[in-house]
Amino acid sequence: MPFPATRLRRLRRTAALRDLVRETELSPTRLVAPLFVASSGGPIELMPGVSRLSIAQAVAEARELAALRIPGVILFGIPDEKDSEGSGAWDAEGVVQLAVRAIKDAHPDLLVITDVCLCEYTSHGHCGVLDADGSVDNDASLELLARTAVSHARAGADVIAPSDMMDGRVAAIRAELDSEGFGELPILAYAAKFASSFYGPFREAADAAPAFGDRRGYQLDGANGREALREVELDIAEGADIVMVKPALAYLDVIAAVRAMTRLPVAAYNVSGEYAMVKAAVAAGAFDERAVVLETLTAIRRAGADIIVTYHAKDAARWLAR
Ligand code: PBG
C-alpha cells in the first residue's frame, strides 16, 4: 500500500527502532589488519597512522589488535635485498617468515594470513619472473609462488593469500601445500584484483613499484566486471577457500556480483589509496573520520563482503567497542 498507509519513517523514529531493523552489522570480527614488516620500522608518508614495523613492533601491534577482537592480520614483507627472481620471498629466514613465527609464538589465537607475491622481492618490481623479452612469465612464476606459500606454511601461517594474478596459481599453490603436508591450510585468493591507481601508497609502503611498464598484463582491467567473475570462477575451481575483490570502493558492484555467484566467504580489500583519501580529507577538515570510516566499511559489508581487509581496522575496532 502506498503513502499515506505506508510510511517508512515509522521505523526510523528512534535509535532503538533503527537498531532493530538494521540490515548490515559491522563488527571487529569481520576485519583484517594489514601489517608491513621490515628489518627496521618507520613511517609511511602517504599513509598517516600506518608504519613499517620491525618484528618486535609487529608482535606488539598484534597484541593490541587481538585485544580489540580483530581476528587476524595479513603480512607484507619488505626485504633488505631484492633480486631478479624474488628469492627473498621463500627465504626461511626472510622477514615475513620470521614475523609469522614471532607473532604465532606470542599470540597463537590470532590468525596470521600471508600475502604471497614476488613484487616486494623482485628487483624489477613485477609480481612474477621475467622471460627473455622482459614480460612476466606466467608458468615459470607458478613454481616460485608455490615455494613461497610453502615457506609461509612452514613458518606457521594460518591462511595463504596469493595476490600475484598469475593464471593457475591457486591450483599450483594448493598442490604444493598438499604435497608438503599442509592440506588443511586455507587459501584466500585475491581472485578479482584490478590494475588500479588506488594501490599508489602501498607501493611506497612496500617499496614495490614496477621499475618499467605496469601490471595491466596480469591484473584485471577496471572496465571488466564479467571477466572479474571468470577470475573468481577459476580460482574457486582451482581450490580457493575464500575469494577476494580488490580494491573495494570503486568495485562495490563486483563485490555484490561475486556474493551473488558463490557460497564461499567473500573478502574485500579496502586498499591503501582508499585509506589515504579518507586521511587527506579528514586532515583538510572535510568530515568526521569515525563517521566516514564506519559508513565506508558498512557499505563494503552491505555490498556483500563477509571479511574486510582494511588499514582502518584498529581505529574501527576501537570505535565499535564503545
Ligand atoms: C602485491 C600487492 C599489492 C597490494 C596488495 N598486494 C600491490 C599491487 O598489486 O600493486 C595493494 C594493497 C594496497 O594498495 O593497499 N601484489
107: confidence class by pLDDT, cuts 50, 70, 90: very high
Q: Mean of the pLDDT values across residues 23-37?
A: 98
Q: Is the pLDDT of residue 18 over 80?
A: yes
Closest CA to 199 of 281, 130, 270: 270
pTM: 0.97
Q: What are phi and psi of 76, to 5 degrees?
A: -120, 135
Q: Is 199 in the pocket of ligand 1 (CB under 6 A)?
A: yes
289 Cα to the center of ligand 1, angstroms: 24
Measured CA to CA, the distance from residue 307 to residue 258 in angstroms comes to 13
Q: What is the pLDDT of residue 207?
A: 84
Mean pLDDT in residue range 97-105? 98
Strand 188-193 versus strand 159-162 pairing type: unpaired
Residue 248 has pLDDT above 90, yes or no: yes
Q: Is 163 in the pocket of ligand 1 (CB under 6 A)?
A: yes
Quote the ligand 1 centre to 308 CA distance (angstroms).
Answer: 15
Domains (ranges, CATH) in the chain?
25-213+224-321 (3.20.20.70)
Dist. CA 113–CA 161, nearest whole Å: 7
Is the minimum distance from the CB of 202 to ligand 1 under 6 angstroms? yes
37 CB-contact burial (10 Å; exposed 0-12 / middle 13-18 / buried 19+): buried
